[in-house]
Amino acid sequence: MCGISGLLDTSRRCGNHELQRTVLKMVNTLHHRGPDDVGTWADAETGIALGHRRLSIVDLSPEGHQPMHSVCGRYVISFNGEVYNFQELRRELEELGYTFRGHSDTEVMLSCISQWGILPAVRRFNGMFAFALWDRQERELHLVRDRFGEKPLYYGWIGGVLVFGSELKALRAHPGFTMEVDRNALALFLRHNYVPAPHSIYKGIWKVMPGTIATITKADVGRSPKAIPYWSVRSAVDQGLADPFTGSDTEAVACLNELLKDTVKHRMVADVPLGAFLSGGIDSSTIVALMQAQSGRPVQTFTIGFHETAFNEAEHAKAVARHLGTAHTELYVTPEETMAVIPKLPSLYDEPFADSSQIPTFLVSELARRDVTVVLSGDAGDELFGGYERYFLGYSIWNKIGWIPEMAKTPMARGLRMFSAQSWDKLFQIMDPLLPKPLRYRNPGEKLHKLAQMLTAGGADGLYVLMGSHWTDPASVVIGGAEPLTVFTDPSARMDRLHLQERMMYLDTMSYLPDDILVKVDRASMGVSLESRVPFLDHRIAEFAWQLPLSMKIRNGQGKWLLRQLLYKYVPAALIERPKMGFGVPIDAWLRGPLREWAEALLDEKKLRDQGFFYPDPIREKWNEHLSGTSSWQYHLWDVLMFQAWLEQEWRGR
């Protein structure tokens, strides 16, 4: 696991020394991603420079130093990530006559590319990766990202110079960087709490899409690179539908068991100490169970505990760890210790990011790094096997309102909006003695206005977009902001032939997973120089999951049915079966208490007006309602606060 950066100066005005000095400045901003070694390489004749920061995981010797040259001399690579099947590929290459000087996966990757070419080689790689490959023969730069987007890779043009790197801070370190905030991306951020790929928070700076090879030549100055997808979630869905699994429940459990055992085994290869995050939930418990089943000694597991009962999973994790016999470490943190992470978030995430579980994810990463350098996590089980509560809630709501004729929905919605949320609250308060218990809601006006939105959401897919939105009309909050189409809002991206719950899983795998979950884990773990690996994101697991009928994922109103049956082979159901808790912190209460002064300063009306990014009125309205307790706007406010905190740091850095 490493940090990479580089540039392609098409003017070729700089000498080798200046190119290397610039790329070294860029890559040194990524010291946290690779504290063990640093390397640069440049070729002034073509204007290319590559930088690398190394976190040594496999082959700790100098033979793993990067940037690395292929034996044939044609290719130079700066690589971030792991290719888990490199040993199998190495044996195949050795049979073809290749020899190797070291034991790293990087050297094997270069030989694969030399033997088969970049596209066929990348299709053979099973791993998580982002890399820059310079082809000295064709004078082409290839920027490549893994299938699901586990590893980040940004790029953009600064005049005639293409810059790229693992994080935005590397691009900002280029002396010509003068990018401005992309207001359209800011609007997307307010809807999703993250900036979805290919966008970034800066105009003209983009993310390489998952499963894509982006190729740039000197003739492409200022233009988007040629993008070649080598794998996609959509293709996995299509293949699964064309070749569905037809075996029994027992056979499905056996197949998943063998596949997951193999993926976990491959991700346990490391020349440094290795462990796992353990929440005690289905996903992380499954991964840890399969690790322990294949380990000759207790696996090291790590959990963060909270004194607030509603947010604490530590007791459940401890029970699972005790049953499996892991070497378990837990740390209970105070609210003060948790809130101390907040000032680090703008630098850690490098662009606005507002999933508040970023805080405990950083804390558990920090805890694990004391003892190990690599961890496995249970992320992606929900998206692949139907675990999120919203899959059930969305389906239930649509069953209740989907039958209403379209011509009736708009008048009904208009009627619900005739009164403000506060007026509805007062009416329900007056009527409370006469209402049956099921109709005695907290904040009924807010719920009725939400129902009005659902009635006019535009079908089942529109309903899911609404359920996944924070600010439902970001353009009314962001000055000059208009949302570009995304996988959620582009009709051409929809897969109508899927069941509604499968469409939700598909959409989440395309956007929420790479742009929220994987960003959260990557930045939190790499912020403390910890490599995180995600076994569920072996593409073979995803392809198998999409072959399965929905009934093997969701059954009797319960998600992750097949995963549960597998886990029960290792852990008693009594230790696992409980309501899904999530991994959060009480932002709601903190904003009214210890974070109030900090938030008030960032949401100051004059400051908002002077900065010129937000219309202050809707933000101040929600802030005042939140403080009064009449409504809970924690998600909407946290979005704005994370942008404001990021913006303050951005302006301080200029």
- CATH no. for residue 534? 3.40.50.620
Residue of 123, 44, 181, 303 lying closest to 613 (CA atoms):
181
Residue 581 forms part of a structural domain: no
Q: How far apart are CA 225 and CA 340, in angstroms?
A: 41
Residue 570 forms part of a structural domain: yes
Averages of pLDDT over runs of 10 residues in the chain (654 residues) are 92 87 98 96 96 90 92 97 97 96 95 98 98 97 98 96 97 94 98 97 97 91 90 97 97 98 96 95 97 97 86 89 97 92 96 96 97 97 96 88 83 80 75 64 68 79 87 95 90 87 96 98 97 98 98 95 97 85 80 96 97 97 92 94 95 69
* Pair 18, 492: CB distance under 8 Å: no
Which of these three, 575, 603, 618, is where a domain ends? 575
What pLDDT sits at residue 122? 98
Residue 580 forms part of a structural domain: no
Q: How far apart are CA 554 and CA 253, in angstroms?
A: 14
What pLDDT sits at residue 307? 81
Domain that holds residue 14: 2-231
* Count of CB atoms situated within 10 Å of the CB of 607: 14
Residue of 68, 191, 231, 209 lying closest to 130 (CA atoms):
209
Those residues with Cβ within 8 angstroms of residue 507's Cβ, 6 or more apart along the chain or in another chain: 464, 468, 487, 488
Tell whether 349 and 458 lie within a shared domain: no
Which of these three, 182, 203, 231, is where a domain ends? 231
Tell whether 272 and 372 lie within a shared domain: yes
Tell whether 250 and 159 lie within a shared domain: no
Q: How far apart are CA 521 and CA 357, in angstroms?
A: 10
Find the Cα–Cα–Cα–Cα dihedral 496, 502, 507, 509, rounded to 10°.
-140
Q: Which residues are catalytic?
A: 2
Q: How far apart are CA 360 and CA 649, in angstroms?
A: 22
* Pair 562, 253: CB distance under 8 Å: yes
Tell whether 41 and 105 lie within a shared domain: yes
Q: What is the CATH number of the domain that holds 36?
A: 3.60.20.10
Q: Beta partners for 333?
A: 306
* Pair 153, 128: CB distance under 8 Å: no
Q: How many domains does the chain have?
A: 4
Q: How far apart are CA 128 and CA 532, in angstroms?
A: 10
What pLDDT sits at residue 446? 67
Strands 154-158 and 140-145: unpaired
Tell whether 222 and 343 lie within a shared domain: no
* Count of CB atoms situated within 10 Å of the CB of 631: 19
CB-neighbour burial class of residue 625 (10 A; exposed 0-12, middle 13-18, buried 19+): middle
Residue 315 forms part of a structural domain: yes
Tell whether 27 and 162 lie within a shared domain: yes
First to last CA, the chain: 29
Tell whether 64 and 167 lie within a shared domain: yes
Q: How far apart are CA 196 and CA 185, in angstroms?
A: 8
What pLDDT sits at residue 415? 82
Q: Beta partners for 328?
A: 301
Q: How far apart are CA 239 and CA 488, in angstroms?
A: 22
Show the tokens assigned to 83. Answer: 């290719």
Tell whether 432 and 539 lie within a shared domain: no
Which of these three, 187, 211, 231, is where a domain ends? 231
Tell whether 569 and 616 lie within a shared domain: no
What pLDDT sits at residue 585? 86
Q: Supply the Cα-derived Rg of the chain in whole angstroms.
A: 25
Residue 582 forms part of a structural domain: no
What is residue 69's three-state secondary structure?
Answer: strand
* Count of CB atoms situated within 10 Å of the CB of 407: 7
Give the residue carrying structure tokens 């579980």.
357
DSSP 175-190: TT----B-HHHHHHHH
Residue 492 forms part of a structural domain: yes
Those residues with Cβ within 8 angstroms of residue 416's Cβ, 6 or more apart along the chain or in another chain: 448, 449, 451, 452, 455
Tell whether 381 and 480 lie within a shared domain: no
What pLDDT sits at residue 90? 98
Tell whether 311 and 426 lie within a shared domain: no
Tell whether 422 and 375 lie within a shared domain: no
Residue 640 parent element (H or E): helix 634-652
This prediction has a pTM of 0.94
